[in-house]
Structure 1
Amino acid sequence: MSVPLRLRIPDLLANWPWPRTINPNYAACRQESQAWCSSFNIIPPRAQKVLNLCDPSLLGALAYPTVNYEQCRVVCDLFHVYGIFDDSSDAMDPTAIQAWVDIIMDALRNPYSLRPSGEPVIGEFIRSFWSNAVKVISTSAQQRFIDEFDRYTKAVVEQACTRDPLVLHDLESYMALRRGNVGAQPAFALLCMETDIAEDIYKNDALLALRRYAVDILCIANDLYSFNIEQAKGDDHNLVTLMVLHKSMNVQQAIDYVSTLHERLVTQFLSISQGLPSFGSPEVDDLVRSYVDALGFWIRANDCWSFESWRYFKDDGPRIQKERVVDLLPRRSELPTIISAV
């Protein structure tokens, strides 16, 4: 029997100044949010069990450690929404995804309207989520969330049109699509849920750059951590796979290359965050500083959740987080061999 290839997983946030912090309302909100999501029976019981093991509420509580109980419940619900939509859309063709997207966006724009009789339950699921959320989210954050969620769902439809493993992208076109379907920007809109940040400040060049770098940091981290399970089941829409196919790299070389891209983004994010301009008053400067810190905590949250939940490494996450090594999983025999193991 051959010895499995052992891959090194770099510590992507070794020098990240924002520590792991969790919302004190996590346990209670997790229980409520999980029960709420399960009550809709959108996915089969086995799939719901897997989603529960991935613990969407943990990501919410880590990413928004300072919000109050009601707001914590909203973000826990949000990540259940992501989980349901992501996992369900993976099994749909573009036409079916578009039908869901139309329902989802209508429910977000009309949270107090009854859903049509006979409509797929995703409509009431989203309406229930958003009608609760708007009670505790600032007006500007609500509109930004809807705008960004619209862009996100359109990107998911676009990705569904390029699922064929032979239809791959160069680095720039791949990242352009990935930035949209990672779902970070809608979640970032809720970092302002407690206040109305003026549009000219929210779209200041420095904050735009920080959000752009933050999205790319998350995209690269998610692709690196998800690569092993994705290549095993034939989901080759992944940056590591792209580097293997188009840069003549083996798997470890591709992981190291992708990690270097991540390191550059971290350096750029930290440089901007440490040299923010003044926005005209101490109060506004403090507000902007809090927003930047929220982005920093979000990035740390995603990294911690990747190992602490079942999402990418199942029960082996804590060990991999500590030791930074993982065995390359065998690829399903019926799939084309596109990954070089050495």
Structure 2
Amino acid sequence: MTTICLPPTMASWPLSRQINPYYEPVAEESAEWFRSFAAFSPDAQKAFDRCKFGLLAALSYPTLNREHYRAACDLMNLFFVFDEYTDTVDEVEARRLADISMDALRNPEKPRPAGECLIGEVTRQFWSHAIKNASPTSRRRFEAAWDRFTTSVVDQARDRTNACSGHIRTVEEQFAIRRYTIGAEPCYALAELPIDLPDDVWSNPVIDTLRKDITDIIFLDNDLASYNKEQAADDDLHNIITIAMHEKQLDLDGALSWLAAEHKTRVDRVLETWKQVEKLEFSPDVNTAVAFYIDHLLNWPRANDCWNFESGRYFGRDGLRVQRERVVELLPKRAKS
């Protein structure tokens, strides 16, 4: 039996696990809302439910009020239905679905056309509810972030076509696109719903550096957790572990060590940048908004790591054991039909 030893990437992260107090009732409300769209077959819906996307929202937004936390739950459901619907399509179809979602986001009061893919109505309902309690800056920032995310998914669809001809992205190229396909930017923007963060503050170089490194930490941990399932399904050409093995001529253990080193570099940098952020001074109201925003940014790596193991998405019912022991059996390649 071949096993994978997952490096303890979050061992030195100073923030502990938190969870939103509205988790159970609101996550179920959102789940019932999403089930009403009948997006999947009954079996696929059960598998979707086991992923506990409301838990991801609860871990990621532990201090949001009930209304904003509900918007976070709805966003997680939208993220993953968009991911499922675009995961295997070509660039043209991915672009069509991205355009549908963006049109619904920009026009939340406009009824969706008859016969349109349900992504349009899921997006419309999510956003029409969320903006009832959103600051103007958060609304504008979320719409821009969602546009970048959906466009990156189209780029990824183009990559799938190129991969069929033998093209694999470089590590640098993968970092560039994964920072958007991971969906972190819209998640950060959603944390801004209750606050008004001025553009010059949001784009402050220190805060921007912090945000980018946290995004890298999230996607490195996500690729670490998803690798085993993806390699078994021959769907790992967008996983940074496979890309590092290919580019750097590493075996799996070497690639895991490389990922751990890249992760540590960013953790160390975040902890230093955090100190710089604490020295920034704005007006009293802006200082309060910045503190709220930074708390949510810094909470994301721990939230993401916990969800990787507490949900059933990557390790099934074995997640807590894997989280504790860091050892998982390498799954055999699935037989191709």
Fold match by TM threshold 0.5: yes
The SS at the match of 1:224 is helix
The SS at the match of 1:192 is coil
Equivalent in the alignment of 2:187: 187
CA-CA distance at 1:234 after TM superposition: 0.6
The SS at the match of 1:7 is strand
Equivalent in the alignment of 1:246: 247
Equivalent in the alignment of 2:132: 135
Matches within 5 A, 1:11-26: 11-26=8-23
CA-CA distance at 1:203 after TM superposition: 0.7
Contact 1:108 1:127 in 2 (8 A): yes
Equivalent in the alignment of 1:270: 271
In the alignment of these two chains, the number of paired residues is 332
Equivalent in the alignment of 1:339: none
Counterpart selection for 1:52 from 40, 43, 49? 49
Equivalent in the alignment of 1:326: 328
Normalising by structure 2, report the TM-score: 0.95
Counterpart selection for 1:28 from 25, 28, 40? 25
CA-CA distance at 1:278 after TM superposition: 2.4
Letter of the 1:268 counterpart:
R
Equivalent in the alignment of 2:317: 315
Letter of the 1:82 counterpart:
F
Q: Percent identity?
A: 41
Q: Distance in 1 between matches of 2:295 and 2:127?
A: 26
Equivalent in the alignment of 1:120: 117
The runs of at least 4 aligned residues of structure 1 exceeding 4 Å deviation read: none
Q: Distance in 2 between matches of 1:281 and 1:120?
A: 45
Task: Could you tell me which runs of 5 or more consecutive residues in structure 2 were left unpaired when the two chains were aligned.
Answer: none
Q: Distance in 2 between matches of 1:77 and 1:86?
A: 14
Q: Distance in 1 between matches of 2:274 and 2:149?
A: 26
Deviation per residue, 1:210-250 (Å, 9 max, x gap)? 11111111111111111100000011211111122222211
Q: Distance in 2 between matches of 1:69 and 1:280?
A: 29
The SS at the match of 1:212 is helix
Contact 2:9 2:263 in 1 (8 A): yes
Normalising by structure 1, report the TM-score: 0.94
Is residue 208 of structure 1 aligned with residue 208 of structure 2? Answer: yes
Equivalent in the alignment of 1:287: 289
Q: Distance in 2 between matches of 1:202 and 1:310?
A: 35
Q: Distance in 2 between matches of 1:85 and 1:318?
A: 28
Higher normalized helix content (fraction of residues): 2
Matches within 5 A, 1:210-229: 210-229=210-229
Deviation per residue, 1:48-95 (Å, 9 max, x gap)? 111110011100011000011111111001000011011121132221
Q: CA RMSD in A?
A: 1.4
Contact 1:43 1:88 in 2 (8 A): no
The SS at the match of 2:4 is strand
Letter of the 1:200 counterpart:
D
